[in-house]
A and B are shown apart, each in its own frame.
Chain A
């Protein structure tokens, strides 16, 4: 596969690496102390409410949505950091075990990069110790080619763009810039030779000019090491820059998924359209903006979960088309809108009709 093909986003999806089936994660409802003593219980929050997703080999998939939509929870469950209440996660076809010991080989294969590099690095460890820690946890003394720990750490640091690696060994995180710290986090992931990197808002805490460099590094890892990358982000511009496919989440569900060009340029779900409307741009002053606050995952509306905010329902267009009662009453799965492009909207079948 040539670079040109990758750059145009025309990736032939490889074999599935991670498959998620009907994932559900609930957080127990909370109430005040007095109400708790009186035996009252809060409603459970359905943070992830039936997500199915496939991450292919060498693919960059962006999981996008507003805060509270469940994107981070879904990613954490995919990492084995949260136990799902329902559903299955398979790694190369094998279902994930839920015991800590059963998860260990998986955790080596799937590494995570978090938003705030300063918070994810131990301030009292040297860069060498930080990067070597994964090897020690997984009791890896030598690389596959007989490399020493020192050689593995050096290779990971230089793959993450910290060269010459020896120069960083004895430094502490506070001696590095924000961009360098995020590179150390990435080196700590790379040292274990992962198949998948899950990056949760990997650049939103970084300065604008540094962001591109970190994203370019992730793209290079995908190209050279064939690592699959799941990027959790609220930024659709970022998804446009790096992702092969984009999945948009709303209230715990994926409401639209497809190739980035399709989802971002020919969105089908009104929620995706609304999200694209609020991407700031020159001359974008007078576009419609959804009113109201992000919705509450303890009270998911019946029918299409987006209907109370949906411009098609609010404007009466859904009623004209005779689907309003469906929107208000019928929950729906993802429907095919175009090849590889699915959206969970009752309008989709109508728009397909000639």
Chain B
């Protein structure tokens, strides 16, 4: 059984300006001990998915589909069960975590609180566990007596990771966990996340716009565009030989040093990501696509087979039905 199984997830924000479909029919699974990287630009719906898995959205937000976490349907849980599922079933490490710590409480108190509230341990034990967790994320255990302002950005992010692990969750969602950090510190935090994930056998959903970070930490990659997954497969192969033209453009934005194809040749994508309220007809990517065909404005592509263990929502994918005028 997968740790996380998402089926036909639709998330629609209701606003004064009308409904905004942010996630439109997304399905994926994450097995124990695996890392799925979810990539895409701002507004593509990737963080909305993270919020939906833990039901963090406001009650006005419409969520449809199923989210099975350790076999339980999160979307159908009672408020009490939901509270238990948060932190113990799945926890989340945010980008804004640098501001998520309470500035007037020692960090040990904050970590211990999460453990106590979920009934994992009594007060004294919770403190002992807080110290052990802080050590596990690479800080001396005496730092539990520090206030957040005494820690650097990287250290605060380590504390947030310790909190995320406090209740032994089976899934950790990391939403842009290193974006606000400096390059050297980012590398340290990534190394920590990877080794914890490996040692504890966690399932992890890793969300970022930075494809080069994702390909390093993930086993599998899912690329999102306009609320949908448009390509999925083993991380390195998706990054190195992308099938979907959007993935190609995104991968080109993160050139590898030494790759002469990119030397002096920055390449980008014309146009801008679509407004979720005005999603183009057919393939939502067709107005910006370098390989657009006549049929693309009319065909809504599904995730067709695109090589061993891979899928892509593009008429050029090998498993796509035959369309007139489309060459493969």
Contact = CB atoms under 8 A, between A and B. Distances in A.
Nearest to B195: A285
Nearest to B198: A285
**Residue among B183, B194, B249, B264 with the most chain A CB within 10 A?**
B264
A280 B249 contact: no
A36 interface: no
Contacts of A123: none
Interface in B195-223: 209-213, 215-216
Contacts of B264: 6-9, 219, 241-242
B258 A209 contact: no
Given A66-B183, A210-B272, A282-B235, A9 B263 contact: yes
A265 B258 contact: yes
Contacts of B26: none
A276 interface: yes
B188 A209 contact: no
9 contacts: A207-B42, A207-B209, A212-B269, A219-B266, A237-B257, A240-B263, A242-B264, A277-B187, A280-B210
A215 B266 contact: yes
Contacts of B268: 209-216
B266 A208 contact: no
B257 A240 contact: yes
Interface in B165-197: 182-188, 190-191, 194
Contact of A241 (B212, B215, B262): B262
Interface in A180-219: 180, 207-216, 219
Main secondary structure of the interface of A (DSSP, over half): helix
A281 B212 contact: yes
Given A282-B240, A291-B188, A293-B154, 6 more contacts: A8-B263, A210-B268, A213-B269, A213-B270, A240-B258, A240-B262
A215 B265 CA distance: 9
A237 B184 contact: no
A210 B184 contact: no
A67 B182 contact: yes
A275 B154 contact: no
Contacts of B246: 209
A264 interface: yes
A236 interface: yes
Interface in B37-95: 41-42
Nearest to B44: A207
A274 interface: yes
A285 B216 contact: yes
Contacts of A240: 255, 257-259, 262-263
B215 A282 contact: yes
A203 B246 CA distance: 19
4 tightest Cβ-Cβ pairs between the two chains A and B: A212-B268, A213-B268, A215-B266, A278-B187
A250 to B, nearest CB: 11
Nearest to B253: A208
B267 interface: yes
A87 interface: no
A341 interface: no
A280 to B, nearest CB: 4
Contacts of B266: 211-213, 215-216, 219, 241-242
A289 interface: yes
B273 interface: yes
Contact of B41 (A9, A209, A293): A209
A260 B259 CA distance: 12
B252 interface: yes
B250 interface: yes
Given A8-B263, A9-B263, A265-B258, A278 B216 contact: no
A179 B41 contact: no
B152 interface: yes
A281 B259 CA distance: 12
Contacts of A179: 272
Nearest to A235: B183
A274 B258 contact: no
Contacts of A265: 257-258
Given A219-B264, A290-B184, A209 B257 contact: no
Contacts of B267: 212, 216
Contacts of A207: 41-42, 209, 273
A282 B182 contact: no
A39 interface: no
A237 B263 contact: no
Interface string A237-272: 100111000000000000000001100110000000
Contacts of A280: 187, 190, 210, 212-213, 215-216
Contacts of A284: 216
A255 to B, nearest CB: 15
A294 B184 contact: yes
A215 B184 CA distance: 24
A264 B258 contact: yes
A201 to B, nearest CB: 12
Given A66-B182, A207-B209, A212-B269, A7 B263 contact: yes
B183 A275 contact: yes
B236 interface: yes
Contacts of A241: 255, 262-266
